[in-house]
Structure 1
Amino acid sequence: MRIGIEAQRLFRTHKQGMDVYALELIKHLQQMDQENEYFIFVKADADTSCLPDAYNFHIVEVQGRSYPDWEQYYLPKAALRHQLDVLHCTANTAPLRYHGNLVLTIHDVTYMEKESLKNDGSTAYQRAGSLYRRLVVPMVAPNASQVMTVSWFQRNCISQSLHLPTDQIEVVHNGVGHQFFQPTNQEKREQVRERYQLPTHYYFFLGNTEYRKNLTGVVQAYALLTQRRNDVPALVMKGIDEPFLTRTLAALGQPDLRERCRLIDYVDTEDLPTLYDMSEAFLFPSLSEGFGIPIIEAMASGTPVITSDTSAMPEIAGDAALLIDPYDPKSIADAMEELLDRPYLAEDLRSRGILRARHFSWRSTAERTLQIYQRFNPEDAAAPYEETLLHQ
């Protein structure tokens, strides 16, 4: 088969969740499939070393000024030139005028909500992306040969939002990298602590400025906890910039909390497991998630997880996390305090989290995805016809 995979942002240095999905999928397909021929469509960028070489995997650089014109104009032309049996678009959207077999991964449909377009802390770039997906996804999804998504919860959301029958949507869970299961030694811990100027004890919050990531809820919960007691660990936050945090603290009347917060920028991939591992707990009280890869990354790293009792998060966390109401800061604060007061609970969550994370592997993601690709194998399609001829 000739299989195309859209991975426009694969080579960008600061990878987000959907970029990680594409990278891990391709890497594991490389390990298991030496028969089919793959064409990986990318936009030129700096991190070309993230993907190892494989003789049957070809990197195809596709030009394009913006995300939409790359995807809607240049990608279908490139796909046509390579005579694909199937094209897999990995990041919610796809070319509207592509007429070949199309597999589409829809990670979530939060952009279909009106709130996604509001100026609520999200950047203009994020709002433009939401608008693009809001316009394109309802048109392209019904015409896809196969729609995939990353959780059972999200399958129901897609079905309701886009009016697709649930039996036309395949659920293929995301995975977690094996590096998160590796224990970290003291030397590595000291290196990471110095590199990111980390305090000795800290909670770890990973998010961005989008409203649904719930920075406001985290800050309000942290403020409540610091009012209750003096032994509260620091709050380390990744993905939040200084001006946004300052505005948020001022709006909540908590400017003095700034001295307890440590902001860090992009974290190197090899450092992230250690950053999880050294934290007292990982805070992920998002208002909505299609999956929540950081949940299982933290669990695999042996870190207690506090996450939301809504959307896909209970499905992914199972019984290995403390589930809270993300709209109630007191609920978040109570869970943070419970881990401080009950160290045996924290240890239990560490053990259960590691076991839970082992349910999710990128190899399994790749195996299930390859089975879906195989449905479009022209040789398989021809086999029943050839068998009929043999019996005539």
Structure 2
Amino acid sequence: MKRYVLDARTATAHFPGIGRYVSQLARHLVPLLAADEQLVLLHRPQEDSWPLPEASNNVAVVATTVSPFSLAQQWQLPRLLRQLDATIYHSAYYLMPYRPGVPTLLTLYDLIPEQFPQLVSFRAQLFARLATRLSLRAASRLLAISEATKQAFLAAHYISYTKIAAFPLAADDRFKPQTEAIIATLRQKRSLPDRYVLYLGINKPHKNLLRLVDAWAEVVQAVADAPPLIIAGAWDARYGEVKTAVSQQKLTEHIKFIGAVEDVDLPALYSGATLFVFPSLVEGFGLPVLEAMACGTAVACANTSSLPEVGGEAVAYFDPTNTQQIAQTLQTLLQDEAALTVLAQKGQEQAAKFSWEKTAVATLTQYRHLAQTAQTFQNPL
């Protein structure tokens, strides 16, 4: 029996993006497994927030108390992998055991601390660089979530081209245009207007919300009936300057903060928006752009990093460092209903090109390739 251990300890609220990735990958791997293959899910049941497949003939669910942030994982997880007779180990996070003892895959998301050091503390830069280097050395194979992420790692670290591949993510099947009744229910629940422009994401500096606020001030001046900008998503209290800017520019009637939104409500939130805007300076993949397109909503986003891979020709792009260009793009779209309709249609077609089934097939191929090398495996450290 080949045992593929997928580390699902990040399927928690602390890791919204990674947790979704692990959950979706696990769910779509299960139907693909052969009779002599087993998916072993390593998780922390006290912190689970993303659904994982239940135990079955081809699935084993193994609980552990060790955190991805714990030094103890360096000796506890290799021991557990031996006990499980693991064929390969797949880490979804760079904080992992750096001598796992079995062929290892590592999923890569972004290099923000290295690409934008000004956005993180010096201490965080040093820690990220050290942990990244250790994880890259420990991994037998690297899986980047976009071609942009792959190229960023190749440029920043000594990695063989043969060691790294790019497998895009996808939107869950439930992200699709919602009925007017469902949208109306959400509007009432979250006190949303009939028309709104939406941003969904955290408020960390690389998300570029300060420029979006400045751009929206210009939009309000230029478009008499401009709908409000709704900023939704988890809020990091360390970065309060965005709300301060809204207050200082007297935009409190034009920009609303609604905080985190329950996952079940996201399709309706996207579907009810007139336009989705995503001004991020850098994204490993940009899943909100894909989800918005899948829900039939027109999208305007930055032309940086992975976002053109996701949006293709179905998105209105702008330079995220140019406030006037952001404002002009949004202003033009809000005054052209036909353009919004065209983008919405193209967006659904573009979103349909991505699927978790394709990602799972490509990932399982990597598992099987590494399984063939397991007999002669030697830890790269």
Q: TM-score, normalised by structure 2?
A: 0.90
* 1:48 to 1:281, Cα distance in 2 relative to 1, 3 A: closer
1:154 counterpart residue number: 149
Instruction: State how 1:336-355 maps to structure 2 within 5 Å.
Output: 336-355=330-349
Is 1:43 the counterpart of 2:44? The answer is: yes
Q: Which moved more, 1:236-245 or 1:48-57?
A: 236-245
* 1:136 to 1:244, Cα distance in 2 relative to 1, 3 A: closer
2:10 counterpart residue number: 9
Structure 2 Cα separation of the partners of residues 70 and 272 of structure 1: 37
Structure 2 Cα separation of the partners of residues 234 and 3 of structure 1: 48
* 1:115 to 1:380, Cα distance in 2 relative to 1, 3 A: closer
Letter in 1 for 2:79: K
Q: Which moved more, 1:332-341 or 1:87-96?
A: 87-96
Structure 2 Cα separation of the partners of residues 137 and 3 of structure 1: 23
Letter in 1 for 2:98: L
Is 1:322 the counterpart of 2:316? The answer is: yes
Letter in 2 for 1:21: Y
Deviation at 1:107, TM superposition (A): 1.1
2:94 counterpart residue number: 92
Deviation at 1:245, TM superposition (A): 7.8
Instruction: State how 1:349-388 maps to structure 2 within 5 Å.
Output: 349-378=343-372
2:262 counterpart residue number: 268
Q: Which moved more, 1:157-166 or 1:72-81?
A: 72-81
1:388 counterpart residue number: none
Deviation at 1:34, TM superposition (A): 5.0
Structure 2 Cα separation of the partners of residues 68 and 193 of structure 1: 42
Is 1:235 the counterpart of 2:229? The answer is: yes
Deviation at 1:90, TM superposition (A): 1.1
Deviation at 1:219, TM superposition (A): 0.5
Structure 2 Cα separation of the partners of residues 213 and 58 of structure 1: 38
Give the conservation status (yes or no) of the 8 Å contact 2:293–2:350: yes
Q: What root-mean-square deviation, in Å, do the aligned CA atoms of Structure 1 and Structure 2 show?
A: 2.4
Is 1:111 the counterpart of 2:125? The answer is: no
Deviation at 1:280, TM superposition (A): 1.0
2:26 counterpart residue number: 26
* 1:311 to 1:6, Cα distance in 2 relative to 1, 3 A: same
Structure 2 Cα separation of the partners of residues 49 and 251 of structure 1: 34
Letter in 1 for 2:38: E
1:177 counterpart residue number: 172
Give the conservation status (yes or no) of the 8 Å contact 2:211–2:323: yes
Letter in 2 for 1:45: Q
1:141 counterpart residue number: 136
> Counterpart of 2:174 in 1: which secondary structure?
helix
Q: Which moved more, 1:199-208 or 1:61-70?
A: 61-70
Structure 1 Cα separation of the partners of residues 166 and 173 of structure 2: 22
> Counterpart of 2:317 in 1: which secondary structure?
strand
Where does structure 2 lack aligned partners over 5 or more consecutive residues?
A: 377-381
> Counterpart of 2:41 in 1: which secondary structure?
strand
Deviation at 1:40, TM superposition (A): 1.0
Where does structure 1 lack aligned partners over 5 or more consecutive residues?
A: 120-126, 383-392
Deviation at 1:117, TM superposition (A): 2.3
Structure 2 Cα separation of the partners of residues 240 and 329 of structure 1: 24
1:80 counterpart residue number: 82
Give the conservation status (yes or no) of the 8 Å contact 1:239–1:265: yes
Give the conservation status (yes or no) of the 8 Å contact 1:101–1:145: yes
> Counterpart of 2:367 in 1: which secondary structure?
helix
Residue correspondences, number: 372
Structure 2 Cα separation of the partners of residues 192 and 34 of structure 1: 42
Q: Indicate which of 161, 172, 186 corresponds to 1:166.
A: 161
* 1:305 to 1:71, Cα distance in 2 relative to 1, 3 A: farther
Letter in 2 for 1:111: P
* 1:134 to 1:43, Cα distance in 2 relative to 1, 3 A: farther
Deviation at 1:379, TM superposition (A): 9.4
Structure 2 Cα separation of the partners of residues 54 and 44 of structure 1: 14
> Counterpart of 2:149 in 1: which secondary structure?
helix
Q: Which moved more, 1:362-371 or 1:329-338?
A: 329-338
Deviation at 1:252, TM superposition (A): 7.1
Which has more helix, going by share of residues?
Answer: 1
> Counterpart of 1:276 in 2: which secondary structure?
helix
Structure 2 Cα separation of the partners of residues 109 and 102 of structure 1: 20
Identity across aligned pairs (percent)?
Answer: 27
Q: TM-score, normalised by structure 1?
A: 0.88
Deviation at 1:167, TM superposition (A): 2.9
Is 1:213 the counterpart of 2:207? The answer is: yes
Structure 2 Cα separation of the partners of residues 142 and 304 of structure 1: 41
Letter in 2 for 1:325: D
Structure 2 Cα separation of the partners of residues 366 and 47 of structure 1: 21
> Counterpart of 2:199 in 1: which secondary structure?
strand
Give the conservation status (yes or no) of the 8 Å contact 1:151–1:312: yes
1:123 counterpart residue number: none
